[in-house]
Structures are given as structure tokens and as C-alpha cells.
Amino acid sequence: MSVESILLVATPAAWVDAAVEGWRELLVDHANCEKKAASTALALIFAYPEDTQLGLSLSRLAREELRHFEQVQGAMTELGVPFTRQKPGRYAAGLRSVMRTSEPGRKLDLLLTGALIEARSCERFRLLAVRLQPPLGRFYARLAESEARHFELYVGLARERGAQEWEARLRALAGKEAELATSQDGELRFHSGPPAP
């Protein structure tokens, strides 16, 4: 399963243009995304301590996300982008609104949402990598590879734990993800929709 095949729609060109223009704002959000990715993995480890395979895989993933966070902070310093507080985007809350909150559905939905977020990150890093100057372009190309691995990891964990229904649930969650990533959005964020024209 490829990153492209899991996402129901491609990122609109208008988002890419806005992101290239607003790369500084996006870099601040990106630092936050890496922290959130680590924190989400850690929350899964805490929620399912008896699932030791999940614990091991997601602990390694969280370490990689933290290393990326350190690299983004380094890039911000290097490129003279100061930290600023940003309003949260709508993406995470939007995805949460369609996730099941009781088990065993909750666990599967958390893993599948993890896969979707990593897939969208990978797609957008690839799009930005070819549009941004080095060092940021090169950095984003490397990150795209990591996100592709993380996407595969989450899909693999979900598949092993929800053999009956994972594909149907993935399609349902991907529908919401596609809507959030492509419909007009008030904030420019790494996972936002395109801005108003």
C-alpha cells in the first residue's frame, strides 16, 4: 500500500503555493507537529501497555519524531525563524470527531488515523521538497522518507489488530481526512486545507 493509495485526494496546488510563500509560519507549526507525533505515539503506548509489540514499535517511532523536532528547532535557529504561539489548526480535532471512543474500535481508529497523518505528511513533504531552497528542501525530502516508513508501521499495526474491518474503517477515516486537507481553511498549517483565494 502506497502513501498515494491511502489518501483519497491529493493536496491542492493552492496549499502548496501558500506553504512555499509562508514557509516560516509553517516551520513553527512543523516543530509542533513533530512533538505532537511523539506525544500521540506515547499516548498509545500508555493506553495499551499489554501490547508489547506496539510499545516497542511506537517507542522507536516516538524517538525518531523527537529527533526530527530537534532538527526543526535547529533549522529555525539556522534560518532565523523565531518561535511564535499559533492558534491550533482544525485537522486533529476534525479527525478526532469521527474516531470511535470505545474499545476495541478506539485502538484501531487511533492506529489508522496515525497512518493517515503520516501519509499526508509524507505527501506534503514531497511536494515542498521540490519547491523549497536547500537546506529546507533537502531536509523535507529526508523527512518524506521517514514519514513513509511511519505510515507503513501504523498501517501494519492496524492490519494485524483489526483484520476484519481495518480497510472499511480506513476508507471512512480517509474521507474525513481528505475533506480537512482540501477544503478552504482559515489557518495555514502543515495539515490545513488551502487558504481562501
- Name the minimum Å distance from CB 82 to a second copy: 9
Nearer to a second copy, 16 or 66 (CB): 66
Nearer of residues 71 and 105 to a second copy, judged by Cβ: 71
Instruction: Identify residues 129-188 at the interface with a second copy (CB under 8 A).
Output: none
Q: Write phi, then psi, for 79 (nearest 5 degrees).
A: -95, 5
**Distance in Å from the first CA to the final CA of the chain:** 34
Smallest distance, a second copy to C-beta of residue 74, A: 8
Q: Residue 75, interface with a second copy (CB under 8 A)?
A: no
Smallest gap, in angstroms, from Cβ of residue 66 to a second copy?
5
Query: What is the chain's Cα-based Rg?
Result: 16
Distance between CA 154 and CA 72 in Å, rounded? 23
User: Could you count the other beta carbons within 10 Å of the beta carbon of residue 13?
Assistant: 10
Binding mask of the shown chain, residues 22 to 61, with x at each position contacting a second copy by CB under 8 A: ---------xx--x--xx--x--xx--xx-x--xx--xx-
Copy the grid coordinates of residue 40. 500521540
Q: Which three cell numbers stand for residue 42?
A: 506515547
Binding span for a second copy by CB under 8 A among 12-20, 68-76, 113-121, 153-161: 68-76
108 grid coordinates: 484501531
H runs (alpha helix) in the chain: 3-6, 13-21, 23-47, 52-78, 91-96, 105-129, 136-161, 166-182
Specify the residue, 47 or 168, whose C-beta has the smaller distance to a second copy: 47
| Positions that interact with a second copy (CB under 8 A) | 31-32, 35, 38-39, 42, 45-46, 49-50, 52, 55-56, 59-60, 62-63, 66-67, 69-70, 73, 76-77, 83, 85
